[in-house]
Structures are given as structure tokens and as C-alpha cells.
Structure 1
Amino acid sequence: MGVLRVPLDRLDEMLLRVGRRLGGWSAELQTARAAHQLLHSDHSLRAHVALPLELAGGWPAARRPYDRCPRLNLATTLAPNVNELGRPARAGYGLRFQICGRLAVVLGGNLVGEAELAGRQGHRLWTYLVLNRSRPVGRDELAAAVWSDDLPDAWDDALSALASRIRAALRPITQEAPALQIQHATGKYRLETPAGTFVDHERARAALHEAELASRRSELARTWTEARVALEICRRGFLAGDEAPWIIGQRRLLVEGIHRAFELLTSADLERGRPEDAATSARQLVELDPLRESGYRLLMRALAASGDRGEAFRVMERCRQMLRDVAAVAPSPETERVFHEVTAEHL
């Protein structure tokens, strides 16, 4: 697969074309379109970005290795399973699992949606197997995930029947990717997937990790794009309308991912000298969790950077009141220190 280097003034048109080819629901594509605004406004970035040639619709382009792409590498974002030469990195390239938001299994032109995945119990079975695809899962554990405390009398047979229904639903995919299997042996199930299979939940976790590393290295563009990928995936939610302890646990992890992504986005925008954008992200962080002090600290820094220290005073007062009224505690010494730093000219 080659690489198409796209001039910035044609990038948005190209991303729209890619969106039509991907079906419009890719979190990475949403991130790329958001990155379009950053590219136009940040002259420190190069005047071209790279897109996978097969997604670009075959427009003429020189073939270049991915390691020569500019700092904001949309090719990596749009097609994470390619090697440095632009070729499919593994046999499973193209197989995608979406378990955040609406369930979907996609390979080429084949799509298996949540309507085909055997109802609420099938959704639980499938997502639990995807989340634990690195290990075999015992039948007892899987049954508890599917039925919680309401196990049917013949749950063993019911579990086998449910797994068979999932296999049948996946047949359009497994015909093209026979390595995708729900295996059952010695009282355990395991989801076998081709190497290189893309899972949105795993991509979000990896994106947060990459954003953290990039932030420590002051790689601001990469911090921003990876945090944005994580944010777009995490905010989709998880098995909406369903309740079980393990489902609630996964939702909490996604919410924490949203919080951390906003923190990274805000910090990156502050470092890049974009206090208004930083303030927007910080306000969303405060609204999501009014007891999380990092949101107030980042918002005060953003307001001070934009010259609105008076509003920073009001933000600190809101922080103190919220912590006092809800948690009966005072702001941490770190929050007080940030407040005194950003309002020093008014004290």
C-alpha cells in the first residue's frame, strides 16, 4: 500500500472521500478531520500530510515509507495496522471490532452489526470475549458475565446455544477471515482473532498510553492527536442500557479515559499557546467531574494565559465551594499553589 501526500488545502475534501469509503463511523477519521483545523492553524507543521493510498481512492502519489511522514501522521491514525513500508503489518489487517458505542464487526465490505449479535445476552457474550481475547474464559465466568445472578437452570446448554448463534452471525466475516473463531475446549471459550485485528477499546487504551509518552517528550502534535483518538472512542460509551458489575466497571474505565484525554488535550493546547482551546477542554473536564481538581487547575492556567485572571478567581471560588459542599474538604495544596501563581498580579 502506498502513501498519498495531501496538500493542506485539499485535505478536507480528501477526508470526506475517506469517510464515505469507511462508512463514516471511524473514530480515527473523526480525529483526522479535527486535526485538519490544527494543521491549517499551526505553521510549524509541514504543508503536507500522508494518507494510505488505498483509502485515498487511488490518487497519483509517490510511495513513501511511513517514517518519513510529517509530525502529525494521519496515515498512522487512519490505518494503525501498517508497517513502516506502508504494507499490511499482519494478516488480520482490515478486520475491525467496535465494542464502544454500537457493536460492529467489519471486514472489507462485510458488516455484522449489533442487531445480528443475538440480543442483550449475545452482546454481553461477544463483548466479554473481545475484552478477554488474550486468554481462555471459563464457562462459569462467561455465564456469570452473560446472566449475572439470574442464571437459567440449563445455563450450560443455553451458553452453548448462544455461542452458536454468535458464530452464525459472524459467518460472513469468518468466510473471509477463517482465523476468526470462537473456540471451545476443556470447559473454556476463547476468541481467536487474526494477528493485527483492530479493536477500538484497545486502540483507546493504546492512544492514551502514547499520548502520555508523547506529553513527557513534549511532542505536542502527537499528544494532541492520540488524546483525541482516545477521547472519540471513550465517549461512545459501553453497552448502553445494560447493567452488570463488569459493564459498570468498563464504563468507569472509559470515563477515566475521557478525563485523562481532556487533561492531555488541555495541557497540549496550553503548551502550543492556544489558551482558548485549552479553556474549552478544561471547562468540559470540570463539567464531567466537578470534584476533580485537575480540571480547575488547568482551567485557571488557561484563563490566566488568555489574560482573564478575574475569571480564574471565580473558578477557584467554585472549586472551593464544590469541594466544601460535596466532599467537606478544602482544595489540595497543589490547587492552591496554581491559583496563587496564575493570579499573582492581582494579589
Structure 2
Amino acid sequence: MAAEDSGTATLQLLGCWRLAVSGRAVAVPGRDQRVIAAVALLDARPRRQLAEILWADGSRGHAQANLRVNLSDIRRHHPGILADSDPLVLLPGVDVDVASLRRLPVIIDRATDRAQLWVWLEFARRAELLPGWFESWLDFEQERVRQQRLSALDGLGRRFLGFGDADGALTAAAIALDAEPWRESSYELQMRAHMLAGNRALALRVYESARSMLLREMDVEPAPILTNLAHELRYDGPA
């Protein structure tokens, strides 16, 4: 199926690789998926440089020949995806979910609807860049997206607290901790969410669990903000 209408193409790179045109999934060979993903993630790169990134273990001539073949296939079968340019870029009408993740902090800060926060939380839950892809050129991009995802989850948790939604904050923190078990900002979210729900004992249990893990795994005490929260909880201060 050709991507003939560039205004309706969506490229999913978070959770899995998927190209859809007018809402219908498009079958794309793995070799072409690599090229499209690289163009989407690496900004505008000259063709020569992109070829050397994607085929780093071969000769320059072999890499450039491979790229020419892939580009020919993509333009023949999916003409609405890549611009015929150098540097290579996606056409303006192609929506990429990674761009949505990058915009998420601003969207979260402006959110006025708690239900919409839950929609974005589900988006952040699956926002892992191309899981199962193990390529050296992708390592940095995967780590960058991971940090963007964790930051978005922190922001969602804080907004849920602002809306008085303890369950939302706890869910955001749990997703973040599943990805990074020593993330102290997520433990803070958990503590504050339990406090919001009136579960002071559970908030203290979170602190003790976090402290035990940080000492065991990292040989560090919790951040002062966690320790201060625990102190206020123990002595019934203005937590």
C-alpha cells in the first residue's frame, strides 16, 4: 500500500514500529523501517552521513549503495513519507509520536482536564523507543527518549496531585520506578500521593523501602526532601 496522502501519515516509534496511512497500517520491510526511523530521529542528515551511520561496519561505497536501494523502495511504495532532498527529512505531513513526547511537558502544564491526563499517562506508559532494536546508532536516542519519558511521568504525577487525584500520581510514579527503581522524585510522588489519600503509614513505608534500596544498591541516603517528608510524618508536622 502506498502512502499517497502525506497529510494522513502517522509514524509510531514508541512501543513498536508502525506506519499508518489514513488510519490503516502499512507493511514496510525491516530494511526500510531502519531508514525511515533514522531519518525521523536523527534530524536532517546528509545522505552520505546517514548511510555511514546505518551501515557502519561496511565500506563507504557499500553503505551508500544500500541507502540508494532503500530510498528507491521507500519512494516507490510509500511516496508520501520521505522528501526527495539532501539532507534527508520526513515530509511535513508525517506525524511522529516521538515529537508528541517531546511536547508533553508543556501539554501537561496547561492541562485543565484530569481525564486528559489519564490519556497522556497511557501514552507515557508505552513510550519506550523501538524496544527490541539493538543498534549502536540508536543507543543515544533511546536513552534520550527514556529521560524524556521519565520527566513526563514526573510532570504527570505532579499534575495529578494538583487535581487531588492520588491514584493518578501513584500510577505515574509506579511506571517511572519500573523503568528506574532509584528515581527519588518518583518516591516523593508516591509519598505525597499517600499523604493526599490520608495514608500516612503507607507514605512512611515508601520512605523506608526507598531508603533501604538506595543504601543497598547505591550506598547513599535518600535526598533531603524525602527525609524531611518522613520526619514531618513521624512527628505529625506540616507535611
Q: TM-score band, normalised by the shorter chain?
A: 0.7 to 0.9
Q: Which portions of structure 1, spanning 4 or more consecutive aligned residues, are displaced by more than 4 angstroms?
A: 150-153
**Alignment equivalent of 1:260, drawn from 130, 133, 151:** 151
Matches within 5 A, 1:1-347: 93-108=7-22, 111-113=25-27, 116=28, 118-119=29-30, 121-133=31-43, 135=44, 137-151=45-59, 154-171=62-79, 174=80, 180-184=81-85, 188-194=86-92, 196-211=93-108, 213-214=109-110, 219-221=111-113, 225=116, 228-229=119-120, 232=123, 235-345=126-236
Greater percentage in helix: 2
Change (3 A) 1:209 1:168: same
Q: Distance in 1 between matches of 2:206 and 2:124?
A: 29
Residue 291 of structure 1 deviates from its aligned partner by 0.9
What SS does the corresponding residue of 2:173 show, helix, strand or coil? helix
Distance 1:238 1:144, change over 3 A: farther
Residues 139/93 of structure 1: CA separation in 2 closer, same or farther (3 Å cut): closer
Greater RCO structure (CA 8 Å; 6+ sep): 2
CA distance in 2, matches of 1:325, 1:204: 33
Which stretch of the first structure deviates more once superposed, 236-245 or 314-323? Answer: 236-245
Q: Kindly tell me: are residues 240 and 281 of structure 1, through their superposed partners in 2, closer, same or farther at Cα, counting changes over 3 Å?
A: closer
Cα deviation for residue 245 of structure 1 reads: 2.9
Q: Deviations over 1:259-305 (max 9, x none)?
A: 22322222222222222332233233333322110111111111122
Contact 2:52–2:60 under 8 Å retained in 1: no
**Structure 2 unpaired stretches of 5+:** none
Distance 1:272 1:199 in 2: 29
Is the 1:100–1:201 contact (alpha carbons within 8 Å) kept by the matching residues of 2? yes
Q: TM-score, normalised by structure 1?
A: 0.59
- Deviation per CA, 1:150-186: give whole Å up to 9, x if none: 4576222222112112222204xx3xxxxx54424xx
Size of the aligned set, in residue pairs, is: 234
Task: Indicate conservation of the 8 Å contact 2:11/2:19, yes or no.
Answer: yes
1:140, distance to aligned residue in structure 2 (A)? 3.6
SS of the residue corresponding to residue 122 of structure 1 reads helix
Measured in 1, the distance between the counterparts of 2:22 and 2:49 equals 33
Deviations, residues 324-346 of structure 1 (Å, cap 9, x unaligned)? 11111111112212222344328
Q: How far 1:236 sits from its partner (Å)? A: 4.4
* Aligned mates of 1:301, 1:335 — CA distance in 2: 10
Shift of 1:205: 1.0
Describe the shift of the 1:109–1:305 C-alpha distance in structure 2 as closer, same or farther (beyond 3 A).
closer
CA distance in 2, matches of 1:341, 1:123: 53
One-letter amino acid of the structure 2 residue matched with residue 122 of structure 1: D
- Assess, with a 3 A threshold, how the Cα gap between structure 1 residues 344 and 228 changes in structure 2: closer, same or farther: farther
Q: Secondary structure at the match of 1:330?
A: coil
Q: 1:262 to 1:109 in 2, by over 3 A?
A: closer
Task: With the length of structure 2 as denominator, give the TM-score of the two structures.
Answer: 0.81
The structure in which a higher percent of residues are strand is 1
Amino acid at match of 2:89: L
- Kindly state the Cα deviation for residue 197 of structure 1 after the two structures are TM-superposed: 3.4
Q: Distance in 2 between matches of 1:276 and 1:236?
A: 20
Alpha-carbon spacing, 1:247–1:234, altered in 2? closer, same or farther (3 Å) = farther
CA change 1:243–1:265 in 2 (3 A) is same
CA contact (8 A) 2:191 2:206 kept: yes
Q: Say what the alpha-carbon RMSD is for the aligned residues.
A: 3.0
